[in-house]
Amino acid sequence: MLKGGVFGFGGVGQSMTRRINRTKEYGEGDFEIVAVCNRGKPKRDIAEKDFGLAAYEKLDDLIAHGLDFMLILSTSHVHKEAAVKCARAGIPYLIEKPIALTVEDAQEIVSETEKADLINGVNYSMRYVPMYIKMKQMVDAGQLGELLSVWARSFRGHGFYTAGKRHRAVVEPEESGGWIVHHMCHIVDFVIWMAGEVDEVYTITKSTAPPELDSEELVYSTMKFKSGAVGMVSDITGYPSDHSAGLVGTKGGVTQWRDGPKPLIKLYWETDREFGPPHIIDPEDTVQRDTGLSQFLRCLKEGKQTNVPVREAWYSLKVCHAMRESAHSGKPVKID
């Protein structure tokens, strides 16, 4: 049995622990969470009383417990400390996004993790959804031709600061990194996954929060990719609650269809008649649903690397910071 620890025992940490220890979704006797670390005592009390786990206030005590893997699920500003200490202790880990708040901290995570040759994974949820995996397969197979455009947009559905719907990531940018780094990183990672490295970004933002917070609530950004493709990403904290993404190539384009009982892909070939009906693809016919946790544990058991290592999250964070720089300067920013 592989013994795991959880750094940050909030809702996600409790959910993952429940799925590993109680519902045994990842095998009977294969994995078990044995200890947690949380800065707040109420969550440590839940770990001890409701889950029967050892609970520590200090990360070093959790590291010293004797672990085979770690789930880093804390607030973002302490991700770097946890990842670096896991790497130096030789503990494989799954880490939530963003992996760090600064590009320099993310680079240190990558350096220490690769030096230790550790299995690691980033919980970028879009990477494990059948619909997006299918889109990626179509791009890689050349089915859409040369990729011309990619887009992704997200409406969080939480609300705005001025209306009293104050998302913690907006109110506490010193812990979250701000909305682009905290939340928009999901769709930034997605478009990079589809189109490759970014050449240039131009970003505009707006917020109803006080200027001194320097925290975005509405973000629109255009992108030029080194492949020659162009793209657009947008993310808004407020209503409606919605999410969409799509691709256009020289042979055809795809977008998602969420109006039915299950998510499907709408495909249009360039040879189709104008305003004709789309071709419908059920991605789950050929792609199995996955999660960051299940892939990490599977790779841990098989002794192989995950599909989403920290190096890729370091690069997407670099693009996110270029977007913030562009929004502050009002000018396009090149990505080195």
Cβ–Cβ under 8 Å, residues 178 and 169? yes
Q: What is the pLDDT of residue 336?
A: 84
The answer on 281 and 141 residing in a single domain is: yes
Q: Same domain, yes or no, for 235 and 324?
A: yes
Q: Check whether residue 57 and residue 97 sit in a common domain.
A: yes
Residue-level pLDDT at 236 = 98
What is the tally of structural domains in the chain? 2
Do 97 and 141 lie in a common domain?
no
**Within a domain: residue 300?**
no
Which CATH number covers residue 283? 3.30.360.10
Write down which residue in 89, 123, 157 finishes a domain: 123
The answer as to whether 38 is a domain residue is yes
**Domain final position from 103, 123, 143:** 123
Q: Is residue 320 part of a domain?
A: yes
Q: What is the pLDDT along the chain (336 residues), one digit of tens a residue?
A: 999 999 999 999 999 999 999 999 998 889 999 999 999 999 999 999 999 999 999 999 999 999 999 999 999 999 999 999 999 999 999 999 999 999 999 999 999 999 999 999 999 999 999 999 999 999 999 999 999 999 999 999 999 999 999 999 999 999 999 999 999 999 999 999 999 999 999 999 999 999 999 999 999 999 999 999 999 999 999 999 999 999 999 999 999 988 778 899 999 999 999 999 999 999 999 999 999 999 999 999 999 999 999 999 999 999 999 999 999 999 999 998
Distance CA(92)–CA(299), nearest Å, equals 10
Asked whether residue 299 is domain-assigned, the answer is no
Residues 153 and 191 in one domain: yes
Asked whether residue 295 is domain-assigned, the answer is no
Name residue 153's beta-bridge partners: 234, 244
Cβ-Cβ contacts under 8 Å for 106 (sequence gap 6 or more): 80, 98, 99, 100, 310, 313, 314, 317, 318
pLDDT of 259: 78
For residue 34, what are the domain limits? 2-123
**What CA–CA distance (Å, rounded) separates 266 from 217?**
30
pLDDT for the residue 258: 80
Q: Are residues 232 and 84 in the same domain?
A: no
Residues 161 and 278 in one domain: yes
67 with 87, same domain: the answer is: yes
Domain stop point among 123, 158, 175: 123
Do 261 and 280 lie in one domain? The reply is yes
CA–CA gap between residue 281 and residue 322 (Å, rounded): 35
